């Protein structure tokens, strides 16, 4: 399963009224519904996975510390830290995280996704996106339409990319990434705190701009070509990177043809109601591609339908559970 699918699965356990309360008043709802203590603080260190944060969760003590800000950034921080508590209570999700190559980094991405899902509805994204290309301007449109932070809006737009890519958020005058969110399993991709190379188009071409660009692999030796849409608003720069030429760069600026699409091109009919193209390669376990709408393949749906035994915590099919325990524990 993907980070996006796990975020949705973790949040499936929340009642609709709880999510509504969280959207209305983050701190109050967290204390009311989850029994956590939300406390403002002034100084924070660096997360183990990298990147400076505005909050921290003390899981064992049930405490969320956050840096007060006069902006929507505080909402994203609180939702992100709540994500840490929700994930910690989900045994299956913790098992999945333990199998990832970099669990700490994936956990941060997962909590970012949870925060975005809590702050932005699908209707908000559709209203801002419409039939338009998910370019940099859509992030600002979504920010104006909702009470979500720019980081949450960047995540929502990254999910709309129909190919490999990612969204980068920069503060005015900064040369390092403030926040980033990728589509699918895009590699290489930006990570908060990454320095923008001096020769990169983001530093050489003032927005608004649509052009060819690139991003380096972690080794710094090789880099991958992307197409980029960048825009500025209220002291912030947003750049959307896409593997495919979503922004008409080749037609507008360069006469040669764009690189051929290296992604998978298949059809899928999903129980969630989606029927159409998918960019995901078939799952090695079940042979079915993940759905672009719900992010699940056949084995992911089977896993979601299973129930955890309250005694041994092993997930089994619902019919094997009686009084909360599986057939092996009864």
Confidence category of residue 13, pLDDT binned at 50, 70, 90: confident
Confidence category of residue 50, pLDDT binned at 50, 70, 90: very low
- Note if the bond before 45 is cis, omega within 30 degrees: no
Tell me the range of 100-109, 245-254, 292-301 where mean pLDDT is highest. 100-109
195 pLDDT more than 60: yes
pLDDT, residue 71, reads 64
320 pLDDT more than 80: no
Q: Bigger pLDDT: 127 or 70?
A: 127
Q: Which of 161, 200, 153, 197 is nearest to 182 (CA)?
A: 161
Range of weakest confidence among 4-18, 188-202, 255-269: 255-269
Give the whole-angstrom CA distance, residue 223 versus residue 213. 10
pLDDT, residue 238, reads 96
Are 114 and 1 contained in the same domain?
yes
Are 254 and 273 contained in the same domain?
no
Structure token digits, residue 117: 């899902």
Q: 246 lies in which domain range?
A: 132-263
pLDDT, residue 259, reads 42
Select from 77, 92, 119 the last residue of a domain.
Answer: 119
CATH of the domain at 163: 3.30.450.130
Give the 3-state secondary structure percentages of the chain, helix then strand then coil, rounded to 5: 35, 20, 45
pLDDT, residue 270, reads 84
What total of structural domains would you count in the chain?
3
pTM above 0.75, yes or no: no
Select from 119, 143, 176 the last residue of a domain.
Answer: 119
Mean pLDDT of the chain: 81
Give the whole-angstrom CA distance, residue 154 versus residue 182. 9
285 in any annotated domain: yes
**C-beta of residue 118 within 8 angstroms of C-beta of residue 157:** no
224 pLDDT more than 90: yes
140 pLDDT more than 50: yes
Are 141 and 160 contained in the same domain?
yes
pLDDT, residue 272, reads 78
Select from 60, 86, 119 the last residue of a domain.
Answer: 119
Structure token digits, residue 290: 């993940």
pLDDT, residue 53, reads 53
Q: What percent of the chain has pLDDT over 90?
A: 27
pLDDT, residue 212, reads 93
pLDDT, residue 252, reads 46
Contacts 24+ apart (CB under 8 A), 23-30: 23/118, 23/119, 23/147, 26/74, 26/75, 26/78, 26/79, 26/82, 27/78, 30/64, 30/78, 30/82
133 pLDDT more than 80: no
Give the whole-angstrom CA distance, residue 18 versus residue 155. 22
DSSP 191: -
pLDDT, residue 266, reads 74
CATH of the domain at 34: 1.10.10.2910
pLDDT, residue 189, reads 92
Q: Which of 88, 155, 144, 145 is nearest to 115 (CA)?
A: 155
Confidence category of residue 254, pLDDT binned at 50, 70, 90: very low
Confidence category of residue 123, pLDDT binned at 50, 70, 90: confident
126 in any annotated domain: no
Are 185 and 276 contained in the same domain?
no
Are 114 and 166 contained in the same domain?
no
pLDDT, residue 58, reads 76
| Each residue's pLDDT tens digit, 17-49 | 998 888 888 889 999 999 998 888 766 554 444
* Burial letters 300-313, b for 16+ CB under 10 A, else e: bbebbeeebbeeee
86 pLDDT more than 50: yes
327 in any annotated domain: no
Tell me the range of 221-230, 261-270, 306-315 where mean pLDDT is highest. 221-230
Are 107 and 20 contained in the same domain?
yes
Are 107 and 142 contained in the same domain?
no
290 in any annotated domain: yes
Give, in order, the Cα–Cα distances in Å from 176 to each of 193, 196, 197, 235.
5, 6, 9, 15
Are 8 and 51 contained in the same domain?
yes
Are 69 and 109 contained in the same domain?
yes
Q: What percent of the chain has pLDDT over 70?
A: 82
**C-beta of residue 197 within 8 angstroms of C-beta of residue 216:** yes
> How deeply is 293 buried, as exposed, middle or buried, from its count of CB atoms within 10 A (0-12, 13-18, 19+)?
middle
Residue range 89-98: mean pLDDT, rounded? 90
Are 138 and 213 contained in the same domain?
yes
145 in any annotated domain: yes
- Note if the bond before 104 is cis, omega within 30 degrees: no
170 in any annotated domain: yes
Are 137 and 252 contained in the same domain?
yes
Q: Bigger pLDDT: 280 or 257?
A: 280
260 pLDDT more than 50: no
328 in any annotated domain: no
Q: What is the Cα gyration radius of the chain?
A: 21
Alpha helices in the chain (DSSP H): 3-11, 16-24, 26-34, 73-88, 91-98, 103-119, 122-129, 136-145, 150-160, 201-204, 249-252, 298-305
Are 8 and 91 contained in the same domain?
yes
101 in any annotated domain: yes
Give the whole-angstrom CA distance, residue 113 versus residue 3. 7
């Amino acid at each position: 399963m993907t980070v996006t699918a796990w975020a949705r699965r973790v949040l499936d356990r929340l009642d609709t009224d709880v999510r509504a309360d969280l959207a209305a008043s983050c701190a109050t709802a967290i204390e009311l519904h989850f029994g956590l203590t939300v406390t403002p603080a002034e100084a924070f260190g660096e997360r183990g996975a990298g990147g400076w944060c505005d909050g921290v969760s003390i899981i064992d003590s049930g405490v969320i510390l956050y840096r007060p800000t006069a902006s929507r950034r505080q909402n994203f921080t609180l939702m992100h830290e709540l994500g840490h508590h929700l994930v910690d209570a989900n045994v299956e999700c913790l098992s999945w995280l333990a199998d990832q190559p970099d669990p700490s980094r994936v956990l941060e991405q997962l909590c970012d996704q949870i925060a975005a899902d809590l702050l932005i509805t699908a209707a908000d994204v559709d209203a801002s996106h419409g039939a338009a290309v998910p370019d940099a301007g859509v992030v600002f449109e979504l920010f104006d339409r909702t009470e979500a932070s720019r980081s949450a809006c960047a995540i929502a737009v990254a999910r709309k990319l129909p190919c490999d890519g990612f969204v980068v958020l920069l503060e005015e005058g900064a040369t390092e990434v403030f926040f980033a969110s990728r589509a699918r399993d895009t590699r290489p991709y930006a990570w908060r705190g990454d320095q923008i190379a001096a020769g990169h188009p983001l530093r050489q071409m003032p927005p608004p701009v649509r052009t060819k660009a690139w991003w380096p692999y972690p080794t710094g030796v090789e880099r991958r070509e992307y197409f980029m849409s960048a825009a500025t608003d209220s002291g912030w720069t947003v750049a959307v990177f896409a593997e495919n030429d979503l922004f008409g760069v080749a037609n507008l600026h360069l006469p040669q043809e764009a690189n051929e699409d290296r992604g998978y091109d298949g059809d899928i009919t999903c129980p969630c109601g989606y029927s159409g193209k998918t960019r995901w390669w078939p799952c090695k376990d079940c042979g079915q591609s993940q759905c672009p709408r719900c992010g699940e393949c056949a084995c992911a749906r089977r896993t979601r339908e299973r129930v955890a035994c309250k005694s041994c915590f092993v997930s089994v099919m619902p019919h094997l559970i009686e009084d909360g325990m599986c057939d092996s524990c009864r």
